[in-house]
Structure 1
Amino acid sequence: MTDTPHPQWHAPVTAPAGLSMQGPGGTTVVPADAGLRLGARFLDGIVTLFITLASGLVVTGVFAAINGGNMDNVGPEYGVPMLVVIIGTPFLYEWLQISRWGATLGKRAVGIKVVRAADGGPVPKGRAVLRALCFSPGIYYAPNYLPVLGQLNILWLLWDRPLRQCLHDKAAKTMVVRGRVTQKAPVQLPGSTAFTR
């Protein structure tokens, strides 16, 4: 998949606040608001918690079976797989779903999806990896290792206009839009791209 813009896409460079953008095929895309994104992230957090717990129980069960039920003498050979489960589960959850469908289970539940910011097209696998490394629904994503950056990452969308991007969106050149696309007629603003009120 290339990064060339879709021929019908009008790049959302100068969109005034409150307006939506014309996307691929003449559809209208509306940046998702903070409430929808927060709701999706909350649902994704619950799902990944249960997947991580189930995966951790499997790893624990295997090591318990190997050691005859005695977990007192296990060392790094147990800790490393558990660390992989704790960090890898949220990453894989985010990356696989965004690269395949453009939305996680939480995003689909609230009606939003992730698209390329340049043209509204699907997110390539490489960008989905970068996005998941910068923000997966767990506490172990990369920005959390730098003080304040983890909080600034998610709060950025509150003042970012017109695309309402978080820092992980900016890093991966993505944006989150409402998945239920409308078909309004675009309004051509003087000296700018096509947008819809």
Structure 2
Amino acid sequence: MHPPMGRPQGPPPQALAAPGVRLLARFIDYLIIGMLIAGAWVPTNIWMYSMFKPGDDRGAPVVLGLFAWTLLVGLFFEPLTMAMGGTVGKAICGLRVVQVETGNKLGFGHALGRWLAYLGIGMVPVLGLISVLSCIWNEPFRQCMHDRAANTAVVKRRWQ
């Protein structure tokens, strides 16, 4: 089936995810990321406080390890799950991210690039909020800024 005249090739309008559902999926993913990070931080902090005295610098490697864990979870949770078919939040909400032209799922490199665009845009004050809300008015694929940068779209899981 060919797209209507003047409409770029990509998912049909009925396949696109509603902005509210996208935000719910993102919220669920943030909860999961928070639990993964807290799952390492809380037991380690309890252990550190029981093992080291104030002013003892032997705990520095543990703290650096926790920061490394936080960075790994933050950077790789979404790209890894996205490359496997979608984040947990998107799966719960019945969504997935696809390449605009092909409708295929993202590979790890593509998912990592999308996530890095999301992080970069989010670091600019106010721009992160505008980016997230831009899926409300963006046409024709309801893309946020990071979707446009990676040429992706968020669709309902069962549209093909």
TM-score by length of 2: 0.82
Give per-residue Cα distances to partners, 1:161-182, cap 9 Å, x unaligned.
1100001111111110000226
Quick check: which one's helix share is greater?
2
Q: CA RMSD in A?
A: 2.9
The equivalent of 2:76 in structure 1 is 92
Distance 1:9 1:133 in 2: 33
**Equivalents in 1 of 2:56, 2:43: separation in Å?**
18
Identity level (%): 26
Alignment equivalent of 2:95, drawn from 112, 120, 124:
112
Deviation at 1:126, TM superposition (A): 1.4
The Cα shift of 1:100 comes to 1.6
1:178 aligns with 2:152: no
Shift of 1:72: 4.1
Distance 1:181-1:71 versus aligned 2 partners, 3 A rule: farther
Q: Which residue of 2 aligns with 1:186?
A: none
> Which secondary structure state, in structure 2, belongs to the residue aligned with residue 176 of structure 1?
strand
What is the letter of the counterpart of residue 113 of structure 1? R
Equivalent position of 2:120 in the other structure: 142
User: Which whole-Å CA distance do the structure 2 matches of 1:110 and 1:93 have between them?
Assistant: 17
Distance 1:39 1:59 in 2: 30
Cα separation, 2, equivalents of 1:53 and 1:121: 34
- Which of the numbers 89, 110, 114 marks the counterpart of 1:127? 110
Name the structure 1 match of 2:131. Answer: 153
Assess if the C-alpha contact under 8 Å between 1:48 and 1:89 holds in 2.
yes
Q: Is the 8 A contact 1:42 1:106 kept in 2?
A: yes
Cα offset, 1:85, TM superposition: 2.7
The residue type paired with residue 31 of structure 1 is L
Unaligned stretches of 5+ residues in structure 2: none
* Alignment map for 1:1-197 (pairs within 5 Å): 14=7, 21=12, 30-60=15-45, 64=48, 68-70=51-53, 72-74=55-57, 77-101=61-85, 103-135=86-118, 141-181=119-159
SS state of the match for residue 97, structure 2? strand
Q: CA deviation at 1:78?
A: 4.2
Distance 1:167 1:130 in 2: 13
CA contact (8 A) 1:59 1:81 kept: no
Equivalent residue pairs, number: 157
